[in-house]
Amino acid sequence: MTGGSATPRRAVFVVGMHRSGTSLVSRLLSLYGFALPNTLMPAGPHNEQGYFESQRIFEAHQELFRELGSEWDDLKDPPRSFYEGLGESPWPARFQELVLDEFGSSGDFVLKDPRISRLLPLWRRVMDHLSIEPLFVTMVRDPEEVAASLRAAQGTPVIRGTLLWLRHQLSAERETRGRPRVFVHYDRLTADWRTEMERVIATLGLSNTISEEGVARADRFVDRDLKHQQRSGKLGEVRSRGWIASVYRHLCEATEADPSDPLYATASEWFDDVTAELDFAEAAYSELSDSKRAEWPRAQPERDRANRELADLREVHEDAKREAADLEGRLAVEERRARERASEVRELRAEIEERENRLRRQLDTITRSERAMGELVDRMEDREAETRRLERELASERSDLAHALERLEAAESALEGERRNVLERDLHRRVLRRKLAMAERPWTTRAAAWAGLSEKDEEAQ
């Protein structure tokens, strides 16, 4: 989000060479609250996540280059006469109208098209007329990576690609001097976008912040897989020599230096010297080329044939790319399935291992139980033997008791007989005593006593 309304309105220009990360930084700036154009250029096979630039402004740039008898990949800058005649040219007014149409009444906005690097004097005039303050973010990337990416995307020869990189970077650096600007290296941006974007915001004197949702979107967007052409090596080191290597080294230093650092002024002077030598070399090459142009009509049939062959090769290349993309898609599906199966295998292995652990624990428990049961069986056998011994002893004692009981019963029977004999003898003795006593009494008394004695005897019996 922007930190309140700004006066004047500001436009962040993203400049630098094609394939240098200009789309990436434009998207990140939009997440920091800078408006994108209304008519966005659609994504393409060489930039699948989008370009984040105006389709209409791109088309106007193309038309302007054609009017100048040039193209975006011309090694020569637009003629100075074009910029000197901007006061009478319809182009400033046309681009002013495009800015108003594309950005309307939105606040600060981001304006990106690598072609702007070659047309900055025109765009500064447009901004002045609209009272919009321009700020500049110059993208820097390894020129050999850029050239390799251009060759893969458009078939541009590597040597021409590195020279185009040199011309774009020199033009962008020269035409942004004295303006708020910051240099950003693509490698640092992809490695740690948050730190690099905070540096961009601070260096340009802005106060924009990014929301948590914006952070999540940026994390998804900044994917190192986007960097298809990547060399190994330290930052600032390239295999190229001469101007290319020196300019790249100075630009890498600029991505680390403070804008107030004298390094900027020193490097700018050296950049001007390189530009002058490059202009001289291009002029000499143009004269040589002009002398050869007379031969072009005779070589036209051969060029046409070569172009047809090139078109056929490009068609074959596109077919191969589509087939490769299809294969990559299938491979991705198979890899995803393989990962899912690997995950399932890992889960199954973990489950099997857990089950084996449980079985081992259960086996240990069973082993301990069997050992305990063996001990119990041994103890039970001992007790059974003891029980059998006790049963034998009990049977013997029972036999002895039975014999003793028989003897006791016999003794009791004998005792009972003896007792009866004793009672009978005692009774007989009492009877005899009474009879004797009655024999000594008178008759009447003896009869009564005899009767009573008879009754007692009956009772006793």
Is residue 394 a part of any domain in this protein?
Answer: no
Is residue 121 a part of any domain in this protein?
Answer: yes
Is residue 454 a part of any domain in this protein?
Answer: no
Residue 99 is predicted with a pLDDT of: 97
Is residue 459 a part of any domain in this protein?
Answer: no
pLDDT at residue 362 greater than cutoff 80: yes
The owner of tokens 């004197």 is 205
Query: At residue 239, what is the residue type?
Result: R
pLDDT at residue 443 greater than cutoff 70: no
Is residue 206 a part of any domain in this protein?
Answer: yes
Q: Which residues contact 92 (CB under 8 A, 6 or more apart)?
A: 86, 122, 125, 126, 129
The three-state (H, E, C) secondary structure of the chain, written as one string: CCCCCCCCEEEEEEECCCCCCHHHHHHHHHHCCCECCCCECCCECCECCCCCCEHHHHHHHHHHHHHCCCCCCCCCCCCHHHHHCCCCCCHHHHHHHHHHHHHCCCCCEEEECHHHHHCHHHHHHHHHHHCEEEEEEEEECCHHHHHHHHHHHHCCCHHHHHHHHHHHHHHHHHHCCCCCEEEEEHHHHHHCHHHHHHHHHHHCCCCCCCCHHHHHHHHHHCCHHHCCCCCCCCCCCCCCCCHHHHHHHHHHHHCCCCCCCHHHHHHHHHHHHHHHHHHHHHHHHHHHHHHHHCCHHHHHHHHHHHHHHHHHHHHHHHHHHHHHHHHHHHHHHHHHHHHHHHHHHHHHHHHHHHHHHHHHHHHHHHHHHHHHHHHHHHHHHHHHHHHHHHHHHHHHHHHHHHHHHHHHHHHHHHHHHHHHHHHHHHHHHHHHHHHHHHHCCCHHHHHHHHHHHHHHHHHHC
Q: What domain range includes position 130?
A: 9-292
Mean pLDDT for the chain overall: 84
Q: Give the mean pLDDT of 219-231.
A: 65
Residue 302 is predicted with a pLDDT of: 72
Q: Give the mean pLDDT of 439-446.
A: 68
185-210 pLDDT, tens digit per residue, is 999 999 999 999 999 999 999 999 99
User: Any idea what the CATH number is for the domain that residue 148 is in?
Assistant: 3.40.50
Residue 356's nearest CA partner among 364, 345, 367 is 364
Is residue 84 a part of any domain in this protein?
Answer: yes
Residue 289 is predicted with a pLDDT of: 47
Is residue 234 a part of any domain in this protein?
Answer: yes
Residue 25 is predicted with a pLDDT of: 96
pLDDT at residue 427 greater than cutoff 50: yes
332-351 pLDDT, tens digit per residue, is 888 888 888 888 889 999 99
> Total structural domains in the chain?
1
Q: Give the mean pLDDT of 456-460.
A: 58
Is residue 52 a part of any domain in this protein?
Answer: yes
4-51 pLDDT, tens digit per residue, is 445 689 999 999 999 999 999 999 999 999 999 999 999 888 788 889
Q: How many CB atoms lie within 10 A of CB 66?
A: 10
